[in-house]
Structure 1
Amino acid sequence: MANLNNASWSSGLCGCTHDVRSCCLTLFCPCIVFGRIAEIVDKGATSCCKSGTAYTLLATATGLGGCLYSFGYRSRLREQYGLEEKPCGDCCVHWFCEPCALCQEYRELQTRGFDMALGWQGNMERMGKSGATAAPRTHQGMTR
């Protein structure tokens, strides 16, 4: 079945007014927010720590922020949930308003029932889904 990408986001791009906690986390630690988003979108195949570190290194090395890396995850998130590509293309949203884009994606996953601090595996356990449905953990790093 084709994905029509016509569902609306649960909140607008600038919908931080009722979510001060996520907004502050995004402003002061975007690498953590991005890492958590990447881990959930990749269904545990990517670790929060590795993604957040890569985001920080790219932002530091290029001076462009992590938007060159993060916009791909917005595209994947939209594809997984059939979300509209608005207000403009994913790359443009991240290029011109990186903090707002990350915060909107974070809120979207929270609205869909994810506890972002738990990561993929923690959410699968919390939701009562067996380990067989979760992507295999491929790293032996820190755990939550």
Structure 2
Amino acid sequence: MAIVPPPTDPSQFSVSMFTPIAQVNRGGSWRHSLCSCAEPSTCLTALFCPCIVYGKTQYRLSLRADRKDPTNMLGYTAVNGSCIAFGVVCGINGILAAIQHTRVRKAYGMNSEAGNVPGDCLKGLCCCCCIVAQDEKEVRFREEQARKPAGSATTTEGYITPTAMTFSAPPR
């Protein structure tokens, strides 16, 4: 009986079969509406101190740009450069919020239904805290979804202990 080597045709195998890659939810529209207050902690922080939420979202987006895990908040500090910049330009910080909103839309490839630059500017100037909260919830949601395992890789059985090896006496 001849031993047949496995096929070496690269078209039969793909790298994605062997390396799991986090797929970020791209496209579509906003998963959280502008005035959605499903997460009271984010909404209240955005209402009373939007610079902290703005800084957190900027931190997540910078991690994403550096191809690091945006859900890892170990290096995050509440008062960072983005937070300070947002607080310093108090009164016109809606412009920074609008820029961030546009950045989030482009980062996740949202369609035209998600908005446009003039709409982002209008929302940023009229309801700055709402747009900052929406950005934070959206980035966190999409990145957490990307980190979930794809498919059903679990089994209903736990670890099965291998049976002990037994040796019999050699034939005589």
Q: TM-score range by the shorter chain?
A: 0.5 to 0.7
Residue 103 of structure 2 aligns with which residue? 76
2:132 to 99, 102, 126: 102
Q: For residues 5-84 of structure 1, what are the structure 2 equivalents within 5 Å?
A: 7-16=28-37, 18-43=38-63, 49-59=80-90, 63-64=91-92, 66-83=93-110, 84=114
1:137 corresponds in structure 2 to none
2:127 & 2:27 partners in 1: Cα distance? 22
1:101 alignment partner AA: I
Question: Shift of residue 22 of structure 1?
Answer: 0.7
Q: How well do the aligned residues superpose, as a CA RMSD in angstroms?
A: 2.5
Q: Deviations over 1:86-144 (max 9, x none)?
A: 7x711111111111111111110121235xxxxxxxxxxxx6xxxxxxxxxxxxxxxxx
In structure 1, stretches of 5+ residues that fail to align are 115-126, 128-144
Q: TM-score, normalised by structure 2?
A: 0.54
Q: TM-score, normalised by structure 1?
A: 0.64
- Give the aligned residue type for 1:8: S
Equivalent position of 1:111 in the other structure: 141
Q: Determine the C-alpha separation between the residues in 2 that align with 1:53 and 1:35.
A: 8
Moved over 2 A (4+): 42-45
Deviations 1:71-91 (A, max 9, x none): 1111111001022217x7111
CA distance in 1 between partners of 2:31 and 2:55 (Å) = 21
SS at match of 2:63: coil
> 5+ unaligned residues in a row in structure 2: which ranges?
1-25, 66-75, 148-172
